[in-house]
Structure 1
Amino acid sequence: MNNWFKILLLSGLSFFTLGKAQEKVTIGEKQNVFSKVLNENREIWIHLPKTYNDKEINPAKYPVIYLLDGEINFEYYTGLSDFIARTPYADIPECIVVGIKNTERTRDLTPTKSQKKSPVNPEVTLFADSGGGENFVKFLQEELKPFINKNYRTQDYSILVGHSFGGLFTINTFLMHPDYFNAYVANDPSLWWDNEVSITRTKEYLEKNKKFPAHKMLYVSQADNEEKQKNWNSDMTQAIDKFKGIVEKNGSLNYKHTFFPGEVHGTVSYPGNYEALKFIFKGFRTDIKQLAKNPGLLEEDYKQFSKKMGTEFVPSESYLNVVLKFMKGNDFKEPETYFMNLKNKLYPKVK
């Protein structure tokens, strides 16, 4: 083959390859929100559900997950949530994920000012920048959530997710401001903080209110860390166990605690977040094969699910399209008619 022809051929292939490489897969977008409360710009990462911009369906609204430590958790969490929301096997509805990137993590996620002295130098106070949790939750409630609700199509259902100090912040938000979110996820929370101040607050909350608020959910994961064998950071384990005992003894909260053998503090949030989403949205999944036998089961399931969640949920248009395709493909004519009527009722065509 002529050498010049080879060069031209390779150049053409390279151009074609580079052209194809320019097609990018994106998982989100960055936004900057200036916080008057914190007096700083905050970088926020937004992940939209796969159907968010689907022109074939009516514009839908979606629950929102507020994810702390966004720079660590955002990439895997968005894939995880999309995976378990895929039809026809969806265990959860599609959700908007809002990853919140840190600036001063210790300041924002701790509820009280640290007085703990360094064991090496008693003149040094550990975590000196701590105690800004109330300001940070004010930023979330009064600035970030309104921004998200204004700029994106959101359903009135939100979840707060945190790990370590983020888990501490999540539990303190639940105790001090339970109405701010519908569900709370705390992965290996640092409940040892400030002589277990969160344990004290839990007891005080129950002494005052007798029981936890209705329709709220709390999921707590706990890492192994070989703490019991090596006594490494045993304060973490003991505090989480104390919290678990108090909550389970009261029995009024929709609560789940999972201990993950073999998972350490730095890895437990991944399986914890998966189990948390399945726990929070338990009852969401419907059996498409059973719907062929009893079409009315779908509306009944969603009615019961909405009652449990304290917020109305209805079958999404995208899921109804999947159901209709299944019914048509299997020649289930009566169920097909039923679901077409349901789709037209829930999502009427705009003339």
Structure 2
Amino acid sequence: MNSWFKIIALSLLLVFTSGKAQDKLVIGEKQNLFSKVLNENREIWIHLPKTYNDNTINPAKYPVIYLLDGEINFEYYTGLTDFIARTPYADIPECIVIGIKNTERTRDLTPTKAQKKSPVNPNITLFADSGGSENFVKFIQEELKPFVNKNYRTQDYSVLVGHSFGGLFAINTFLLHPDYFNAYVANDPSLWWDNKVTIKRTKEYLEKNKNFPAKKSLYVSQADNEEQQKNWNSDMTQAIEEFKGMIEKNGSLNYKHSFFEGETHGTVSYPGNYEALKFIFKGFRTDIKQLAKNPKLLEEDYKKFSEKMGTDFIPSEAYLNVVIKFMKSNGFKEPETYFMNLKDNYYPEQ
């Protein structure tokens, strides 16, 4: 009996551990895309929302976030977007995240050719491969975006997110190609680059256009950077402050600047990206308890939000299911019926 018991127990253990080994938490997939513009292969990391493959609801479309420095930011950023998009507390819609892995970072993210001699060794030239950002943004706009739109269910709303040189790239893209994205995020951007060439471009833009494009958003974070006491990054701090003054003085842009005390250049992206998402999608959250009192409030809120964003947004089927369940479990019969009808209007049965 003992031998049989041991055999059965061992068999069950093997089945359990085998099954357990097969359970994986997957946050994304890798795709390779050859770029004719850049004449090289680019690796792209894709994160899909939790409801993307849910076969209990109708296939939905999602906003897309293009995340620079993908190999550094992808893991935490995808968890962040999932967390603040969870119902019924969602501050943002569920989003597809496209992480772009670097090959030649300085080349791709800097707007001009800026060669500097190393302060340590004057025989070494810094940033010799710089100045390729126009090619890189062309790759994103003409090759990467069509690839993503073809292969995934995307909504007509996109965000560009960058840090340091990536933040510099985001702001330059906003100035030169504002229609490429709906919102831009620049965490501690390297606006000191090439004698503050981007500051000059901003002045020129405002002199020519007077105002920034309507229904666009720009978020800039700034790190405390204790290193500035050692004059390590005083140029960066001054340039960001100068840019902030110019933007806020104009007042025509949906703009926010956040200063993070105690954060360094290397850590500011995490709190910056959280605040950026909440800022860009401000107005998305609805109060489910208030909906019980006034069911029409949901459509009113989404109408206001869509007008602000310049793109049509409607309540997701997943969220409507949560609302209907809430109304049913709390005995709100009339609101329950209202939202069931609303769901049928938005998502008729196939």
TM-score category, normalised to shorter length: over 0.9
Classify the secondary structure of the residue corresponding to 1:289.
helix
CA RMSD of superposed structures (Å): 1.6
SS of residue matched to 2:219: strand
Give ranges in structure 1 of 5+ residues lacking alignment. Answer: none
C-alpha distance after superposition, 1:233-270 (max 9, x if no partner): 11111110010010001111100000101111111000
Give, in angstroms, the shift of residue 14 of structure 1: 4.7
Following superposition, the deviation at residue 5 of structure 1 comes to 6.8
CA contact (8 A) 1:222 1:258 kept: yes
Assess, with a 3 A threshold, how the Cα gap between structure 1 residues 320 and 201 changes in structure 2: closer, same or farther: same
Find the counterpart in structure 1 of residue 128 from structure 2: 128
Structure 2 SS opposite 1:219: strand
Structure 1 residue runs of 4 or more that deviate by more than 4 Å after TM superposition: 1-12
Identical amino acids, percent of aligned pairs:
85
Query: 3-state DSSP class of the match of 1:88?
Result: coil
Counterpart residue number, 1:337: 337
Q: Secondary structure at the match of 1:256?
A: strand
Distance 1:326 1:12, change over 3 A: closer
The secondary structure found in structure 1 opposite 2:53 is coil
- 1:265 maps to amino acid: H
Partner of 2:281: 281
- Structure 1 equivalent of residue 225 of structure 2: 225
Task: Determine whether 1:159 maps to 2:184.
Answer: no
Give the aligned partner of residue 190 of structure 1: 190
Aligned to 2:309: 309
Tell me the equivalent position of 1:270.
270
Kindly state the Cα deviation for residue 6 of structure 1 after the two structures are TM-superposed.
5.5
Partner amino acid, structure 2, of 1:114: A
Secondary structure at the counterpart of residue 126 of structure 2: coil
Distance 1:335 1:120 in 2: 70
Deviation (angstroms), 1:230: 3.1
**C-alpha distance in 2 between matches for 1:330 and 1:19:** 39
In structure 2, the residue matched to 1:54 is 54
> Amino acid of the residue matched to residue 253 of structure 1?
L
Identify the residue that residue 297 of structure 1 maps to in structure 2: 297
Return the letter of the residue paired with 2:335.
P
- The letter for the 2-side match of 1:261 is E
- Tell me which residue corresponds to 1:259: 259
CA distance in 2, matches of 1:213, 1:138: 20
3-12 or 213-222: bigger deviation: 3-12
TM-score (norm. length: structure 2): 0.97
Inter-partner Cα distance in structure 2 for 1:261 and 1:225: 8
What are the residue-to-residue correspondences of 1:1-351 with 2, within 5 Å? 9=9, 13-14=13-14, 16-350=16-350
The separation in 2 between residues aligned to 1:39 and 1:22, in whole angstroms, is 38
The Cα shift of 1:331 comes to 1.1
Residue type at the aligned position of 1:250: N
Instruction: Count residues with an aligned counterpart.
Output: 350
| Equivalent residues of 1:292, 1:335 under 8 A apart | yes
Q: Which secondary structure does the structure 1 equivalent of 2:117 belong to? A: coil
TM-score, normalising length: structure 1: 0.96
CA distance in 2, matches of 1:8, 1:331: 49
Secondary structure of the corresponding residue to residue 25 of structure 1: coil
Deviations 1:289-344 (A, max 9, x none): 00000000000000000010011111111100100000111111111111111111
Distance in 2 of aligned mates of 1:171 and 1:257: 13
Report deviation, 1:123. Answer: 3.8
Secondary structure, aligned partner of 2:116: coil
Distance 2:163 2:294 in 1: 42
Deviations 1:22-63 (A, max 9, x none): 211100111111100000110001000011011111110000
> Aligned AA for 2:117?
K
Structure 1 residue 2: deviation in Å? 6.5
Query: Counterpart amino acid of 1:135?
Result: N
Counterpart Cα distance in 1 of 2:230 and 2:267: 18
Alignment partners' CA distance in 1, 2:162 and 2:66: 9
Note the C-alpha offset of 1:17. 1.7
What whole-Å deviation, never above 9, does each CA across 1:198-239 have from its counterpart, x for those lacking one? Answer: 000000000000011100000001111114533321111111
Once the two structures are TM-superposed, the CA of residue 125 in structure 1 deviates from its matched residue by 1.9
Cα separation, partners in 2 of 1:58 and 1:8, compared to 1, 3 Å = closer
In 2, Cα distance between the equivalents of 1:55 and 1:12? 32
Return closer, same or farther for 1:19/1:340 CA change in 2, 3 Å cut-off. closer
Assess if the C-alpha contact under 8 Å between 1:227 and 1:237 holds in 2. no
Contact 1:112/1:194, CA 8 A, preserved across alignment: yes
Between stretches 215-224 and 119-128, larger displacement belongs to 119-128
Cα distance 1:19–1:341, how it changes in 2: closer, same or farther (>3 A)?
A: closer
Q: Secondary structure at the match of 2:174?
A: helix
Deviates more, 1:331-340 or 1:129-138: 331-340
1:114 touches 1:125 (CA, 8 Å); kept in 2?
no
Q: Partners of 1:228 and 1:181 in 2: how far apart?
A: 33
* Residues in 2 aligned to 1:2 and 1:287: alpha-carbon distance in whole angstroms: 60
